[in-house]
Amino acid sequence: MSNVPEIFGSMVFNQHVMKERLPKNTFKQLMKTIEKGEPLDLEVANVVAHAMKEWAIEKGATHYTHWFQPLTGITSEKHDGFLDPQPDGRAIMSFSGKELIQGEPDASSFPSGGLRATFEARGYTAWDPTSYAFIKDEVLCIPTAFCSYTGEALDEKTPLLRSMKAIDEQANRALACFGEPKQRVVTTVGAEQEYFLISEEQYEQRTDLILTGRTLFGYSPCKGQELEEHYFGAIRPTVNEFMKELDDELWALGVSAKTKHNEVAPAQHELAPIFTEANRGIDENLLTMEKMRLLASRHGLVCLQHEKPFEGINGSGKHNNWSISAGNKNLLDPGDNPQDNLRFLVLLAGVIKAVDDYQELLRMTVASAGNDHRLGANEAPPAIISIFLGDELGQIVDALIAGKDYEGAAKTMMDLGVDVLPNFMKDSTDRNRTSPFAFTGNKFEFRMPGSAMNLSDANTVLNTAMAKSLKDFADAMEGLEGETFQEAAFAWVKQTLSDHQRIIFNGNGYSEEWEQEAARRGLANNKNTADALPCFIDPKNIALFEEFGVLSEAEVRSRYEVKLEKYCKLINIEARTMRRMLRRQYLPAISAYAAKIADHITSIKTAMPTLSTQTQEEHLVRIQQGLDAAKKAYDALATKHKEIVEIEDAQEMANAYAHELIPIMETARYEVDQLEILIPSTDWPVPSYNKILFYA
């Protein structure tokens, strides 16, 4: 059994270690940088770097790296040794403040969407002291932001940090209206990570899984998730071993992995951490994903983080639990005194406004080739954004809008905004799994993000849109005091809720009626990535980012390009893989099997000319027809694919992939899958879903 308190954070240069190892003054200055965002001077950095290096070497580190998040979505690192050879032939280990605060990776091979011309290849990484350094595999990892030399963000973290600054500023303005002192306001994130584990042996036989992360073919298993036995079921021993090791490694890295369980689909699992500040929460999630992938191989397993590795059973998401906290106070907690209630209602109305005004932008942040298979597929939330408040809070909001008193289940007549909201909401917000954005007692749970995503984009948009709501409030309230302020704030809440009521929906998000109703309400319904991305460059959305200094227009445009490119590249890889598998695996195998049946017929006829071979002949006809259909689909796929790769405009290419190629890919898959269940597994070139999903 692991000694958790001893392990936890043992590989992290956290506040505790800093306090222990840094001279008092240095520690104080570093804290100022962390808490107030004050710049760090080089002298302080030198002292910190030295302490960090000594600590890291004691823990066995030999190298350091600036750990950053380029727009590829994954993390990047380049290891540099502490090694510093001396003229007398010996070596010392060195690490300077300059090396701590700034690095210069060759940026030319990271996507930049045309922001950084290749002749100006240099980019630089800058330490994000709000996220702790840690040691991973004998390397001291320093979380950093990644920018071009002209200062444009080339990564996921920079805009997130900028959005957190925006929310800190605007929330402080809003809180000041309530007479609150200046304090540090941050958004908090807890990311529930879903994933699949399958055996390495099966994985290696599936080119599609290896190259695309998902199965491009495969008939659904005889047994899916209908018995509901997997969810929270006993964890199989191999998986349990994996999870234990994962916990230990994550705890050492200071990741508070808290909950682990089997998920709904066979071979699917989930890990949920305890939430923390958004930027750190996202760093931790990325570390978790990396550790999952690496550790699985030690157990003969492969961790699939794709949003939809298998058709016909649930895919994997990553619920983004999000809240705002000031000091140690959760601002989305209704609280239990009247003053808190009004503040809560302002915050709530702010979120509702933010999500309604920027629904398309928020939906854009979760658009990816992988997630297109989830959203709107009756297992994950639909592609339409709406907010679930639950019955009680929903009724309170209705009453507020109607200007009526609310008589709650607690049977308290309430004069809203003055009286106390009873502390019932936490328990009575029941689970609505169909809602993309649900209030869950003291936080919102954004359920659209896919399992493979970096959550920075989603949180950057949430934070920025929320900063805008808070700014709107503060602009209207500043200068008002006492009862005048209370009345004005209350009126703002009422007006905001009425203006944005359309985004609130407590019903079944899977139903067809909702799709129609949402259209009547004017809510956006962008069904795939190609349709969802263009709103990124809408003037309204660019204006939002620029207003809060989160992204410049050039940065927005470059990110839009990167996203388009990534989508097109992924579908291109899928199409190529599909064609290759059809040509080299499926079509030959089906043809060989048809010949085998033909041989059977001949040998039976030779042995007993009078015996009927009708069964075999019918089977042969069926197989041969299937082969023709699969070949036809292959030809259509190849023709269309070749046509699309010639398209020059990236958006047009994405549109063609989404609307023209993907339907053909679906047909090709269908034709092959139909044959899979007619042909013995010994004659089938790849392992079936039955085999992959159910293992000991």
Give me the residues that bind ligand ADP (CB under 6 A), please: 188-190, 192, 272-275, 321-323, 330, 440, 442-443
DSSP 272-301: EEPPEEHHHHHHHHHHHHHHHHHHHGGGTE
- Measured from the CB atom, is 158 or 440 closer to ligand ADP? 440
**From CA 664, how far away is CA 668, in angstroms rounded?**
6
- Give the nearest distance from C-beta 194 to ligand ADP in angstroms: 12
* DSSP code of residue 585: I
Q: What's the per-residue H, E or C state across 472-486?
A: HHHHHHCCCCHHHHH
| Residue 572, both tokens | 């291109």
Q: Cβ of residue 455: shortest distance to Mg ion, in angstroms?
A: 14
In the bound complex, which residue of the shown chain has the CB atom lying closest to ligand ADP? 190
Q: Are 416 and 405 in contact (CB under 8 A)?
A: yes
Task: Look at residue 190 and give the partner it binds from Mg ion, ligand ADP, none, a contact being a CB closer than 5 to 8 Å depending on partner kind.
Answer: ligand ADP
Which residues ranging from 293 to 322 are in contact with Mg ion (CB under 5 A)? 319
Minimum distance of ligand ADP from residue 440's CB (angstroms): 5
Q: Provide, rounded to whole angstroms, the least separation between the CB of residue 472 and ligand ADP.
A: 23
Of 202 and 435, which has the nearer Cβ to ligand ADP? 435
Smallest gap, in angstroms, from Cβ of residue 434 to ligand ADP?
Answer: 15
Which CB atom, from 59 or from 433, has the smaller least distance to Mg ion?
433
Residues 316-355 that bind Mg ion (CB under 5 A): 319
Report the C-alpha gap between 97 and 50 in whole angstroms: 8
Is the CB of 102 or the CB of 442 nearer to ligand ADP? 442
| Contacted entry of ligand ADP, Mg ion, none for residue 272, CB cut-off 5 to 8 Å set by kind | ligand ADP
Residue closer to Mg ion by CB (options 341, 429) is: 429
| Chain position whose Cβ is nearest to Mg ion | 319
Pick the closest to residue 364 from 535, 523, 519, 158 (CA basis): 535
Residue 78 class from Cβ within 10 Å (0-12 exposed, 13-18 middle, 19+ buried)?
middle
Question: What is the closest distance, in whole angstroms, from the C-beta atom of residue 190 to Mg ion in the complex?
Answer: 9
**Contact present, 162 and 549 (Cβ < 8 Å):** yes
Compute the distance between CA of residue 626 and CA of residue 622 in angstroms, rounded to an integer.
Answer: 6
Cα atoms in the 13 Å half-sphere on the side-chain side of 35: 12
Which of ligand ADP, Mg ion, none lies near 9, with the C-beta cut-off 5 to 8 A by kind? Answer: none
CB-CB contact of 253 with 8 (8 Å): no
214 binds, among Mg ion, ligand ADP, none (CB under 5 to 8 A by kind): none
Q: Which residues contact 106 (CB under 8 A, 6 or more apart)?
A: 121, 122, 123
Q: Which is nearer to ligand ADP, 228 or 427 (CB)?
A: 427
State the binding partner of 443 from ligand ADP, Mg ion, none, CB within 5 to 8 A by kind. Answer: ligand ADP
- For residue 187, the minimal CB distance to ligand ADP (Å) is 8
Q: How far is the CB of 232 from Mg ion (least distance, A)?
A: 13
Q: Would you say 101 and 187 are in contact if contact means Cβ atoms under 8 Å apart? A: no
- For 389-492, strand residue ranges (E) read 406-407, 413-414, 437-439, 444-446
How far apart are CB 287 and Mg ion at their closest, in Å? 20
Q: Residue 686 gets which letter from DSSP?
A: S
CB under 5 to 8 A by kind: which of ligand ADP, Mg ion, none does 496 bind? none
**How is residue 120 annotated by DSSP?**
G
Q: How many binding residues for Mg ion (CB under 5 A)?
A: 1
Tokens 């934070």 found at: 463
Residue 330 binds: one of Mg ion, ligand ADP, none (C-beta under 5 to 8 A by kind): ligand ADP
**What count of other Cβ atoms lies within 10 Å of the Cβ of residue 321?**
21
Q: Which residue lies nearer to ligand ADP by CB, 329 or 579?
A: 329
Q: What does the per-residue mask of binding to Mg ion show for 124-163, with x meaning CB under 5 A?
A: ----------------------------------------
- Which one of Mg ion, ligand ADP, none is in contact with 113 (Cβ closer than 5 to 8 A by kind)? none
Residue ranges in contact with Mg ion by CB under 5 A: 319
